[in-house]
Structure 1
Amino acid sequence: METLNEANYIKWLLTDQMIDIVAAVSMGRDIISQFKENKLTTQQAMGRLRICNHSVILTLFKLHELRKKYGKFLSTLPSEETAGIFKDAADIENKKICKFRNSYAAHIFDRETMAPISMQKGEELLNSITGKDNDQCEAFYDWLYPLQWSIDKPCVVSSIERLRAYCRQLPGGELRRP
């Protein structure tokens, strides 16, 4: 069987996305903890959190993109297996994560005006996504991957894991990485 079937490809994309989200959120929480313990300066914590949060945003954009590009295939699967991913993709759009990625995280010029991007507007949009302070950022992280994670807790990682496990059971889903 060919390794490029949709179930196998989606399974591996979801594996990477889950690893990236868990790693970035775990690092972000460690940074916040170190900052609260006065082990990091504000500048050190801000820079490191920025990297973690940009990584999360890029990964969430990929999840949104996966839902769009593989929507036809996903719509053939049982709704109980895809409901979480579809809800998360809608949340990603509602939180304006795609707008941040398309306008600020991946570009230096505004595509519409062809002028340099507004750093202030980018920071405002990022704060509306991840929160304006560490407590709000931790709430954002809980939406992605709660501290006491289990597959039964609704969050982005649980949605990813459910669909990934289902794809693994489909014909071709057990194949090696393409």
Structure 2
Amino acid sequence: MATDQKYPLAPSNIMPRSDAEFATNNFQSNNQRRKKKLRSTFLLTIFLTGIILLFCFTFLRIKSPKIRIENIRITNDGDGRINFSAQVFLRNRNFWRYGYDSTLGTINTAEGTTIGRFVIPDGEVRRRSTKTIYVMENFILPSRLNNTSGILPVISEAKIRGKVKVFRVFRWKKNVDLSCTMSINLTISAIQDLDCQ
């Protein structure tokens, strides 16, 4: 008599995973990967934002140039003829070039009378550097001032108009004013008490 031997379909101690369990585990794994990706994207965004802000505050912070006048020399022939020469220092504090237009400077008395003029020619200052501009002018003192013995207080003024050139595409207008008070010693042909603001 033949007996049919039946084998169990699976060992009794191993439980097969159902489709629901597999879907749940797969969803959790995808969810964790999505969270990691979002976290990485967020950190990358924060990092790039910091780099952009640092770039903006460092390189795109546009400042006005500084200007001063020094090494002034005058000669007085005693007949009211004054030869005036000086060095104008224009300092560009930006990381971009600064171009400026030609400017006419004046030398005025304390009362406001213009006794001399000098020209600052147009030019360009490289980034983070100082340009030296030599100016020279001859002028004649009015007779009432020529008779003044001793000290003649004067004010030297000029207004430079220019633009900071960013990537040579964008331009920011930046003007700078030269205003220096000084005293011309007519007796010894010298400058005293020079003060630039």
Q: Structures share a fold, TM > 0.5?
A: no
TM-score, normalising length: structure 1:
0.24
More strand by share: 2
- Structure with higher Rg: it is 2
Higher relative contact order (CA 8 A, sep 6+): 1
TM-score, normalising length: structure 2:
0.22
